[in-house]
Amino acid sequence: MLVHCIVQRDFVYDSMKRIRVFYGWWIVSAAVMVGLYVGGVVVYGFTAIFDPLVREFGWSHARISFAASLRGAESGVLEPIAGRLVDRFGPRRLVFVGGLFVAGGLLLLSGTSSLAMFYGAYVLLAVGFSACGTTVLVSGVGNWFRARLGLATGIALCGFGLGGILLPGMVALIDHYGWRVAFDILAVGALVVILPLSLVFRHRPEQYGMQIDGLPAQSEVQGASGSGPGSVSAEPDVSVRQALRTRTFWLLAIAFTFHTGAVLTVTTHVMPYLDSIGIGRMSAGLMATGIPVLSILGRLGLGYLGDRASRTRVTILGMGAMSLGIVCFILVPSVGMAALFGFLVLFGIGYGGVTALRPALTREYFGRAHFGSIFGVVIGINAIGGIVGPPVAGWVFDTLADYTIAWVVLAVLLAVSAFFIVTARQSRQAW
């Protein structure tokens, strides 16, 4: 009853609409803050707990990495469900409940005494991440934008990139207070940050007397003849079942699965890898922070470019940059810091740009009516990359004491992803 009363209140909307800013931008701002906290703690923060767990429990890299895979597997199941729920009920309730699950998962994590308990904590975190993660946030934002969709989703997803700035703070908390107390503090933070922000979200602008992009109703009709990727033209209306029957859907889904696998594998193993080649823990933590921070440039820059040029071509550019970035990563032991900075710039910007354009490209092909459901299925399939990538890379290191083969495979898969994006565009059908 308490939760129902809280999430039904409209006082946040009533106060914000008095400020003459299109309300969609308030939703974008809330998405940034939610993504910052959830992404920083649940995704990027995973690498900070690696070494403390190895020291305390003696678990292998593969066993610890499996928690990231478990989170990915659970999210893979839940994201399609979250997509259907956000289409039906809107994002506000899901973000609120997601905040409760994130806090519960962090509390369970702080009390971990066994591998099973550790995995259980990440199941709760997976539920929380699905309820207030990418699918729900971009669906909440996407319902309010069309012509500026690439920029809006790029800004909204900057929260996950900004989450990287929490990593040095998490490392400092763990080093000063111990990892158990650190995660107790982060659990309280989840309640303080996420629950109030959930009140900002609203479902569709038409329910509040507004239109997409903040335009008057007649502007959509007048703009119906536009033709660019950001034009306010009539959108396709494709159901989930129809989308699943197209070649375009599966090519996009597979390409983004390789992208997801590369991102989660690198962000999970970046600190162990740098430690294995002689770079200190604090320095490695700063380098790990650089990936999501630099991804912000990609989210904003390539998202903006995607509204004014071909989103397909810009996505291919991002995939190519990521592949070249991993090549630089491989060369760090022999070339040194120059290669490491090349990796950070290319991989970070490419990763951010593809992340921003993934929902925009999906929306461009399949429309808004069932976007949450379709995008949820895409994210669910993409989770396979996160399930497979981190433990396989951990197994490679446990077996060979070297990450090189894992990085080579990722670089090749990203190049293949760029080809799939091209093929998806060529096989696009008229609805």
Residue 347 to residues 192, 195, 285, 402, 406, Cα–Cα distance (Å): 33, 33, 16, 20, 16
CA separation for the pair 68, 270 (Å, rounded): 14
Instruction: Please give the structure tokens belonging to residue 293.
Output: 């921070």
Q: What is the mean pLDDT of residues 184-213?
A: 88
Q: Indicate if the pLDDT at residue 188 is higher than 90.
A: yes
Look at residue 91 and tell me whether its pLDDT is greater than 80.
yes
Q: How far apart are CA 236 and CA 238, in angstroms?
A: 6
Cα distances from 136 to residues 66, 95, 164, 170, 297, in angstroms, run 25, 8, 20, 26, 23
Which residues 6+ apart lie within 8 Å of 242 measured at CB? 431
> What's the angle, vertex CA 232, arms to CA 31 and CA 352, rounded to 5?
40
Residue 405 has pLDDT above 50, yes or no: yes
Res. 230 pLDDT band, cuts 50 70 90: very low
Q: What is the mean pLDDT of the segment spanning 93-109?
A: 93
Distance (Å, rounded) from C-alpha 254 to C-alpha 262?
Answer: 13
- Rounded to whole angstroms, the Cα distance separating 236 from 85 reads 21
Range with the lowest mean pLDDT among 190-194, 246-250, 422-426? 422-426
Read off the pLDDT of each residue in 176-203 and give the average, rounded to a whole number: 91
Q: What is the mean pLDDT of residues 30-49?
A: 85
Q: Above 60 in pLDDT, residue 430?
A: no
Cα–Cα distances (Å) from 16 to 9, 145, 202, 212, in that order, read: 13, 18, 12, 17
- Residues 4-18 have pLDDT tens digits of 444 445 555 555 555
**Cα(72)–Cα(385) distance, rounded to whole angstroms?**
8
Task: Give percent of the chain with pLDDT exceeding 70.
Answer: 86
- By mean pLDDT, which of 47-51, 212-216, 251-255 is the weakest? 212-216
**Nearest-angstrom CA–CA distance, 327 and 315:** 19
Give the DSSP per-residue string, 348-379.
HHHHHHHHHHHHHHHHHHH-STTHHHHHHHHH
Interval 358-372 mean pLDDT: 86
> Which of 60-74, 82-96, 234-248 bottoms out in mean pLDDT, i.e. has the lowest?
60-74
Q: Answer for the pair 28, 156: CB distance below 8 angstroms, yes or no.
A: yes
Mean confidence (pLDDT) of the chain: 82
CA triplet 151, 430, 88: central angle to 5 degrees? 55
DSSP readout, 157-213?
Answer: THHHHHGGGHHHHHHHHHHHH-HHHHHHHHHHHHHHHHHHHHTT--S-GGGGT--GG
Mean pLDDT of 407-425: 92
pLDDT tops 60 at residue 34: yes
Nearest in space to 185 (alpha carbons), one of 200, 199, 166? 166
Q: Which two tokens stand for residue 288?
A: 């790990």
Mean per-residue pLDDT, 386-412: 90
Residues comprising the chain, all counted:
431
For 349, the token pair is: 């910007």
Residue with tokens 């071909």: 310
Say whether pLDDT at 215 is over 90.
no
191 vs 295: which has the higher pLDDT: 191
pLDDT at 205 over 50: yes
Name the pLDDT band for 336 (thresholds 50, 70, 90). confident
Asked if residue 152 has pLDDT above 90, the reply is no
pLDDT > 90 fraction of the chain, expressed in percent and rounded? 29
User: Cβ distance 194 to 42 under 8 Å?
Assistant: no
Of 14-28, 104-118, 214-228, the least confident: 214-228
Tell me which amino acid residue 241 is.
Answer: R
Furthest CA-CA distance within the chain:
65
- For the purposes of burial, counting CB atoms within 10 Å of the CB of 55, is it exposed (0-12), middle (13-18) or buried (19 or more)? exposed
What is the pLDDT, as a whole number, of residue 49? 78
Per the CB < 8 A criterion, the answer to whether 421 and 362 are in contact is no
Whether pTM exceeds 0.85: no
pLDDT computed for residue 415 by the predictor: 95
φ/ψ of 236, rounded to 5, equals -65, 155
Number of CB atoms found within 10 A of residue 337's CB: 10
| pLDDT at position 101 over 80 | yes
Annotated domain spans of the chain: 3-7+20-205+235-426
Residue 254: closest CA among 422, 421, 77, 73: 421
pLDDT reading at 267 higher than 90: no
CATH class of this structure's domain 3-7+20-205+235-426: mainly alpha
Structure tokens at 386: 């996160």
- State the pLDDT at residue 360: 86
Choose between 5 and 64: higher pLDDT.
64
pLDDT per residue as tens digits for the range 106-143 = 999 888 888 889 888 888 988 898 888 888 998 888 88
**The predicted structure's pLDDT at residue 234:** 58
pLDDT at 351 over 80: yes
Query: Which CA distances in Å does 57 have to 41, 114, 194?
Result: 21, 8, 32
Q: Is the pLDDT of residue 160 over 50?
A: yes
Give the residue-averaged pLDDT of 17-22. Answer: 59
